[in-house]
Chains A and B, each alone.
Chain A
Amino acid sequence: MTDLLDIKKMSVSFQTEYETIDAVRNVSITLRPGEVLGIVGESGAGKSTIGNAIVNLLEPPGEITRGEILFKGQDLRNLDDKQMRDVRGKKIGMIFQDPQTSLNPLMTIGAQLIETINKTINIYGSEATNKAIELLESVGIDESEARLNLYPHQFSGGMRQRVVIALALAGNPDLIIADEPTTALDVSIQAQILDLIKRLCQERQVGVIIITHDIGVIANISDRVTVMFNGQAVESGDVKQILTNPKHEYTKSLIAAVPRGDRKVERFKSIDYIEGGAQTQRRIDLDQHWLGKKFTQHFSDTAISINNLNKKYSLKKAFLKRNRSYVHAVKDVSLSIKKGEIFGLVGESGSGKSTIARLVAGLVRTDKGSIKLFDQEVTNKSKGKDVIAARRNLQMIFQDPYSSLNARMRVQDIVSEPINYYKTASTNMEMRQIVRDLLDHVGLGSNAMLKYPHQFSGGQRQRISIARALASRPKILICDEPTSALDVSVQAHILNLLKDLQDDLGLTILFISHDLPVIRQMCDRVAVMRHGSICEIATTDSLFEKPQHEYSKHLLELMPKTDF
């Protein structure tokens, strides 16, 4: 059988005023009809660039400098703009990562579908409408005729991604390039979308290229895989062979860094291959140091205890009570976390897990119920010195390391702010020394002090966040999806750091994540949440071995499996 797509030694570079960045170097890829090829790699590996280069949608100043892109025997590089437009949509369809942003918010989905049908297969009028209905049905959207008149914001994320897929299929393409098609979706939706892509691929005999950072996705859907690192394809081959018996060092470490859902390991394997050798890390002697200073005050054994916690967000404000409407974000949640425990909260988006974090941290007000930190009531009704003292024991680490650091403050000011506020250091000299030690301790090194956040990568920023959280000498850390914005290799480093800190300092951690394998590796006990209430609380091992609640079983089934 002839190849549908045959990329030969393609290179893409971005030429800027100062330097030329080779985003893709000498990459060769082949794809047959009805086959799913996965391209996997971490951010900056050049995997998305390949997808954009095929349909010539590279952002300037990016350009293909070398190689051939043979699509059905024709070199796409030789086509002019107009011919290329005929290829896009009609021959090659694309699916992008975020269904929130890939649809025009001001057009009904019907209008967007019909417009695409008009232009790609030249069908107009009621025939085009019928085709649009048919397309929506083929991607599993029912009542599709009525839904043509809806706008994108009236759909959920998963439904929107289905619409995006319908749009990509509108011109009956022979090849579909899906760039992180499920990254923005929940696990259960992810499984449905992957099934859909796989089914369409087989039914229509189209070739599919799936670009993703998630090895679980690759393992589920693709037939062959190409591993990208730093612009180069380091390894390609059959998916089973690559995942079970990787040849290249990078592939080995990448697979090792993926948290396993099936059993617990002591530490994550870190990908030193990427960061270039071991880091020189000076750790501080906690017994002598400010950070490890023992308190004379006695702490009870229960770090956090939550009783019948409730929170409603109003959807519609109105003068009359009956006209108002609410989402019940947290419904009668009770749990208690022992001192020194890592407690996991897991659930899909909208299940209320982040709301609990915010309530415990006091960022939003509770409607009903009580929250106690070391037996001190901290809900909004109680105020005073004791509450402030109790709150000081609690710090939070947020999901997005880009927006959670003030871009206009130096790292030393960011980290020293809590020390200043609580006046826990006696002199400026001492404070600066503490900041230096903290940065060393989280593995950043003290020369980071005078830099600004934008000079750091995502993982390094998350280390800054951790150093900032430690600066008030907390007993409790709340980590709200601390690694979901990071690459797997970086994730492994950050999770190891959190584990070490928890061991050294005896921290209690409330760890929130949607990622079951991460939960499995990190937590002692887990609560599974759905629609604002807790389905099940169990120790991690018993939850993963013998889930009791139906929903927990369902979630565990959907967990992507990396082994065969």
Chain B
Amino acid sequence: MQSIVVLFIMSLVVFTMINLVGDPVDMLVNPESLPDEIERVRSDFGLDQPAHIQYIKFLQGALSGDLGNSFIFGRPALALIAERFPATLELATCALIIAIVFGLPLGIYAGLNPKSLGTRIIMGGSVLGISIPTFWLGLMMIIIFSVVLGWLPVSGRGDIGSFLGWQSSAFTLDGLSHLIMPAINLALFKIAMVIRLARAGTVEVMSLDFIKFARARGLPPENLVRFHLLPNILIPIITVLAIEFGTLIAFATVTETIFAWPGLGKLVIDAIVNLDRPIVVAYLMFVVTLFLLLNLIVDIIYAALDPRVRLNGDQQ
């Protein structure tokens, strides 16, 4: 219920704002066209109508799953987004996996050994990870690994393989070599974030009574970390990561542009430059829906991880 209200408000805001910037017709027609030619294009796209009529038409379309046709490509905006989405999803998923695989152990290590040299290096590195701009790092990676060393391809998406009916470039060697650099580039900031969250969580949980009690029962460190520490620090980390996964998908634009990754980011940047309104609107609606979905997933995971928030009321 709330989600529908949010979606509706968002559509209103997006539609109003986008109507304030520029005139898409200027981008669509040859500047030397005759005035009645321009008028014809304008009425073809329905842009001669007042904004509120346009909005009502948009809403009617949206309710039947049609967010309008792209001005440039002349195809449904949603279909274009759906086409590009797998590439971005793949990139974001890889980045997320990298962030968890590296961030979690490093963060826990830092939390368990607050004074060791390793911790200082990790925490220093995480500050770097947060503060280095993504675009600069992307360019540096291209220069080092592609231009100087020649190990990895500069840009684009490689061959696509299929595994269990799932199509992704992560399943071929060529695809992987294309994927690895943008994924790491995108993941770097998230690694730093996961490190900081995991460390803070570890420090907090390790000081709690049940950890002390577990140690007093003679449990070895591996049990402490695996069964007692990890599940307890995962709850806040998962909450944050789910939302961050949304931002990875929605705002991977910079990385996608640098590595010429054929994903959503590139589509949107082009659409904004060309004032291709339906695509921008459809994209923003898509992002809102994505975040709403992610929130729902977080709630479900939360209930799965934490028995205290399960609602089935199996109190004795």
Q: Which of B122-130, B207-215, B271-279, B281-289 contacts A (4 or more CB under 8 A)?
A: B207-215
Q: Report whether B218 and A86 are in contact in the complex, using a CB–CB cutoff of 8 Å.
A: yes
Taken residue by residue from 90 to 122, chain A's Cβ proximity to chain B (1 for < 8 Å, 0 otherwise) reads as 100110111001111111000100011001100
- Bound: A167/B214 CA distance, A: 9
- Bound: A76/B214 CA distance, A: 19
Query: Is B147 on the interface with A (CB-CB < 8 A)?
Result: no
| CB-defined contacts of A115 to chain B, threshold 8 Å | 219, 223, 227
Of B208, B218, B315, which is within 8 A of A90 by CB?
A: B218
| CB-defined contacts of A154 to chain B, threshold 8 Å | 314-316
B201 CB to nearest A CB, Å: 13
Return the chain B residue nearest A111 by Cβ.
B227
Q: Report whether B217 and A168 are in contact in the complex, using a CB–CB cutoff of 8 Å.
A: yes
- Bound: A87/B217 CA distance, A: 9
Q: A96-B212, A316-B313 are in contact. Are A120 and B228 (CB under 8 A)?
A: no
- Bound: A171/B213 CA distance, A: 14
Query: Is B216 on the interface with A (CB-CB < 8 A)?
Result: yes
Q: Report whether B315 and A171 are in contact in the complex, using a CB–CB cutoff of 8 Å.
A: no
Q: Which residues of chain B from 226 to 258 have any CB-CB distance to chain A below 8 Å in the complex?
A: 227-228, 231-232
Q: Give me the 8 closest cross-chain CB pairs, A-B, nearest first.
A: A89-B218, A88-B218, A94-B216, A101-B209, A89-B217, A151-B307, A102-B213, A106-B231
Taken residue by residue from 332 to 373, chain A's Cβ proximity to chain B (1 for < 8 Å, 0 otherwise) reads as 000000000000000000000000000000000000000000
A181 CB to nearest B CB, Å: 12
- Bound: A40/B84 CA distance, A: 71
| CB-defined contacts of A90 to chain B, threshold 8 Å | 218
- Bound: A94/B218 CA distance, A: 10
Query: Is A330 on the interface with B (CB-CB < 8 A)?
Result: no
- Other A-B pairs, 14, CB within 8 Å; known A89-B216, A103-B210, A171-B217: A88-B217, A88-B218, A94-B213, A96-B209, A102-B209, A102-B213, A105-B232, A105-B308, A106-B306, A106-B307, A115-B227, A154-B314, A168-B216, A316-B313
B312 CB to nearest A CB, Å: 12
A23 CB to nearest B CB, Å: 17
A261 CB to nearest B CB, Å: 31
Of B209, B213, B220, which is within 8 A of A119 by CB?
A: B220
Q: A85-B220, A119-B220 are in contact. Are A104 and B212 (CB under 8 A)?
A: no
How many chain A residues touch B (CB < 8 A): the figure is: 36
Query: Is B6 on the interface with A (CB-CB < 8 A)?
Result: no
| CB-defined contacts of A21 to chain B, threshold 8 Å | none
Q: Report whether B216 and A57 are in contact in the complex, using a CB–CB cutoff of 8 Å.
A: yes
Taken residue by residue from 140 to 157, chain A's Cβ proximity to chain B (1 for < 8 Å, 0 otherwise) reads as 000000000011011100
- Bound: A168/B214 CA distance, A: 10
A-B contact pairs, 22 of them (CB 8 A): A55-B216, A86-B218, A87-B218, A88-B216, A93-B217, A96-B209, A96-B213, A97-B209, A102-B213, A104-B231, A104-B232, A107-B228, A115-B223, A115-B227, A116-B219, A119-B223, A120-B217, A120-B218, A154-B315, A154-B316, A155-B316, A168-B217
| CB-defined contacts of A153 to chain B, threshold 8 Å | 307-308
Give me the interface of A with B, judged by CB distance under 8 Å: 55, 57, 85-90, 93-94, 96-98, 101-107, 111, 115-116, 119-120, 150-151, 153-155, 164, 167-168, 170-171, 316
How many chain B residues touch A (CB < 8 A): the figure is: 25
- Bound: A539/B49 CA distance, A: 85
| CB-defined contacts of B305 to chain A, threshold 8 Å | 106
Q: Report whether B307 and A105 are in contact in the complex, using a CB–CB cutoff of 8 Å.
A: yes
Return the chain A residue nearest B207 by Cβ.
A59
| CB-defined contacts of B212 to chain A, threshold 8 Å | 57, 96, 102
| CB-defined contacts of A106 to chain B, threshold 8 Å | 231-232, 305-307
A84 CB to nearest B CB, Å: 9
Output the residue of B213, B217, B232, B316 with the most chain A CB within 10 A: B217
- Bound: A155/B314 CA distance, A: 11
Number of A-B residue pairs with CB-CB distance less than 8 Å in the complex they form? 89
- Bound: A481/B298 CA distance, A: 40
Taken residue by residue from 149 to 165, chain B's Cβ proximity to chain A (1 for < 8 Å, 0 otherwise) reads as 00000000000000000
| CB-defined contacts of A87 to chain B, threshold 8 Å | 218
Give me the interface of B with A, judged by CB distance under 8 Å: 208-210, 212-220, 223, 227-228, 231-232, 305-308, 313-316
| CB-defined contacts of B218 to chain A, threshold 8 Å | 85-90, 116, 119-120, 171
B234 CB to nearest A CB, Å: 9
- Bound: A150/B307 CA distance, A: 9
| CB-defined contacts of B213 to chain A, threshold 8 Å | 94, 96, 102-103, 164, 167
Return the chain B residue nearest A150 by Cβ.
B316
Q: A96-B209, A98-B209 are in contact. Are A119 and B219 (CB under 8 A)?
A: yes
| CB-defined contacts of B307 to chain A, threshold 8 Å | 105-106, 151, 153
| CB-defined contacts of A103 to chain B, threshold 8 Å | 210, 213
A327 CB to nearest B CB, Å: 12
| CB-defined contacts of A94 to chain B, threshold 8 Å | 213, 216-217
B313 CB to nearest A CB, Å: 7
Q: Report whether A167 and B308 are in contact in the complex, using a CB–CB cutoff of 8 Å.
A: no
B243 CB to nearest A CB, Å: 22
Of A55, A57, A89, A104, which is within 8 A of B210 by CB?
A: A104
Output the residue of B213, B214, B220, B308 with the most chain A CB within 10 A: B213
Return the chain A residue nearest B230 by Cβ.
A106
| CB-defined contacts of B208 to chain A, threshold 8 Å | 101
| CB-defined contacts of A171 to chain B, threshold 8 Å | 217-218
Q: Report whether A102 and B210 are in contact in the complex, using a CB–CB cutoff of 8 Å.
A: yes
| CB-defined contacts of A105 to chain B, threshold 8 Å | 210, 232, 306-308
- Bound: A102/B212 CA distance, A: 8
B174 CB to nearest A CB, Å: 43
| CB-defined contacts of A168 to chain B, threshold 8 Å | 216-217
Q: Report whether A57 and B215 are in contact in the complex, using a CB–CB cutoff of 8 Å.
A: yes
Q: Report whether B215 and A101 are in contact in the complex, using a CB–CB cutoff of 8 Å.
A: no
B301 CB to nearest A CB, Å: 13
Q: A96-B209, A151-B308 are in contact. Are A116 and B216 (CB under 8 A)?
A: no
| CB-defined contacts of B308 to chain A, threshold 8 Å | 105, 151, 153
- Bound: A271/B92 CA distance, A: 66
Output the residue of A103, A104, A119, A120 with the most chain B CB within 10 A: A104
- Bound: A164/B210 CA distance, A: 10
Q: Report whether A88 and B215 are in contact in the complex, using a CB–CB cutoff of 8 Å.
A: yes
- Bound: A316/B312 CA distance, A: 11
- Bound: A88/B218 CA distance, A: 4
- Bound: A153/B313 CA distance, A: 12
Return the chain A residue nearest B115 by Cβ.
A60
Q: Report whether B217 and A104 are in contact in the complex, using a CB–CB cutoff of 8 Å.
A: no
Q: A101-B210, A154-B316 are in contact. Are A107 and B216 (CB under 8 A)?
A: no
A46 CB to nearest B CB, Å: 18
Return the chain A residue nearest B210 by Cβ.
A104
Q: A101-B209, A151-B308 are in contact. Are A93 and B223 (CB under 8 A)?
A: no
B48 CB to nearest A CB, Å: 47
| CB-defined contacts of B227 to chain A, threshold 8 Å | 104, 107, 111, 115
| CB-defined contacts of B315 to chain A, threshold 8 Å | 154
| CB-defined contacts of A89 to chain B, threshold 8 Å | 216-219
| CB-defined contacts of B210 to chain A, threshold 8 Å | 101-105
- Bound: A164/B214 CA distance, A: 10
Return the chain B residue nearest A108 by Cβ.
B307
Q: Report whether B228 and A104 are in contact in the complex, using a CB–CB cutoff of 8 Å.
A: yes
B18 CB to nearest A CB, Å: 38
